């Protein structure tokens, strides 16, 4: 796919065709079951199977490893369309591809890629991204999980927290960061050596604990993980020893573009629902959309959405052009996350009492969107990264 011509309302044909296809799938397959899965807090296996059949999980992965040979912008467009209606489904795709498969695609050996990527790209299996710990969230460098070599095997001990796609029936692996020793920093002081290790599901001692009772993203699979003397082959080291933390940070830089796309989809979904409601709902003898107070609120929602979309389009274009994009990804993620939360709040207000009912899409967006200001780097972390890029 071409990496040129990202413009609002003027996508190249191959991207527009993809976007349109996913829009139709979202309308016909996702929307009818979203409320049911949200209420029951069940993982939407039938929806995930449909996305797998469309090749969405393999969009940015080369055909050599079973992917579609597309790019990260294509993945982001698909995520945006899904998130308009169902953020749980969108984050399942985002995490399955950008967090589950991409570490192996970016840093794995050819043998690891051949072994794991075809199923991940096909969407017949899911991978988790084991970075966050009970005491290491924004401070991901404070990893306490350990891995030591013993007789040609890594012995992993520790805990991970808030790990998406880690406990489904089709989860095949989790890549985890672990302290594998110590190294000397530029300042001459010792610091933890953090590496990344592939842990297949079903390995003795690896337990996906009971799922969280969450505020939102109820149909997304999220678990704490326990590693108790988990033994995996030495060749399950992913990337260079001691580069695990750096590898995962680069994965997060890419992932922030995809999460920004998800947030834009959520923000757009709130606009769509609010326009529809404002046209249909009458008060004092006329549609509420005839009132400037309502019309202007929706206009601001649309402005936020367009601004956030332009930001993630720009970050994706820089990434695909091989230009530095870390700051751009942080800007996009921050702006989009705030737009989603602000739009969800406004959409709920526009819907009045109905907006507080779980039967309405905006109520789910209200519950779901808060995590977009937290996950894959809080708003405060994005501000820190932006400030550092400016030399502050």
How distant is the alpha carbon of residue 260 from its chain centre? Answer: 9
Q: Give the span between the Cα atoms of 336 and 83, in whole angstroms.
A: 12
Is 376 an active-site residue? yes
Q: Which residues contact 23 (CB under 8 A, 6 or more apart)?
A: 81
Q: Residue 113 corresponds to which tokens in the numbers above?
A: 């890629």
DSSP 291: S
Q: Give the span between the Cα atoms of 309 and 324, in whole angstroms.
A: 19
> What are phi and psi for residue 204, nearest 5 degrees?
-55, 135
Q: Of 14, 23, 376, 380, which one is the catalytic site residue?
A: 376
Q: Residue 90 corresponds to which tokens in the numbers above?
A: 């969108």
At 91 the three-state DSSP class reads helix
Q: Give the span between the Cα atoms of 129 and 297, in whole angstroms.
A: 38
- CA dist 312 → 222, 253, 263, 356, 390 (Å): 26, 12, 10, 30, 19
At 129 the three-state DSSP class reads strand
**Which residues participate in catalysis according to the annotation?**
376
């Amino acid at each position: 796919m071409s990496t040129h011509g990202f413009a609002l309302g003027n996508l190249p044909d191959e991207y527009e065709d993809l976007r349109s296809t996913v829009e139709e799938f979202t309308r016909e397959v996702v929307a009818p079951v979203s409320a049911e899965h949200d209420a029951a807090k069940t993982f939407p296996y039938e929806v995930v199977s449909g996305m797998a059949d469309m090749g969405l999980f393999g969009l940015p992965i080369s055909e050599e490893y079973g992917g579609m040979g597309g790019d990260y912008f294509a993945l982001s467009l698909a995520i945006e369309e899904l998130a308009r209606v169902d953020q749980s489904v969108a984050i399942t795709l985002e995490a399955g591809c950008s967090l589950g498969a991409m570490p192996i695609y970016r840093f794995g050996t050819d043998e690891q890629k051949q072994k794991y990527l075809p199923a991940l790209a096909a969407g017949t299996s899911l991978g988790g991204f084991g970075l966050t710990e009970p005491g290491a969230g924004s401070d991901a460098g404070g990893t306490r999980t350990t891995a030591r070599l013993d007789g040609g095997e890594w012995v992993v001990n520790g805990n991970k927290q808030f790990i998406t796609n880690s406990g489904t029936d089709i989860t095949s692996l989790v890549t985890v960061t672990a302290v594998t020793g110590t190294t000397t920093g530029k300042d001459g002081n010792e610091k933890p050596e953090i590496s990344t290790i592939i842990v297949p599901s079903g390995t003795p001692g690896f337990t996906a604990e009971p799922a969280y009772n969450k505020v939102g993203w109820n149909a997304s699979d999220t678990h704490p993980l326990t590693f108790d003397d988990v033994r995996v082959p030495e060749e399950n080291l992913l990337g260079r020893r001691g580069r695990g933390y750096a590898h995962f940070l680069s994965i997060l830089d890419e992932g922030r573009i995809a999460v920004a796309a998800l947030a834009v989809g959520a923000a757009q979904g709130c606009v769509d629902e609010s326009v529809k409601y404002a046209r249909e709902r009458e008060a004092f003898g006329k549609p509420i959309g005839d009132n400037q107070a309502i019309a202007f609120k929706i206009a601001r929602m649309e402005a936020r959405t367009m601004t956030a979309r332009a930001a993630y389009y720009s970050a994706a274009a820089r990434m695909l052009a091989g230009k530095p994009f870390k700051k751009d990804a942080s800007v996009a993620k921050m702006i989009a996350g705030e737009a989603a939360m602000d739009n969800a709040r406004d959409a709920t207000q526009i819907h009045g009492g109905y907006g507080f009912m779980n039967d309405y899409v905006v109520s789910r967006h209200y519950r779901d969107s808060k995590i977009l200001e937290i996950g894959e780097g809080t708003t405060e972390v994005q501000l820190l990264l932006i400030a550092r890029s400016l030399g502050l």
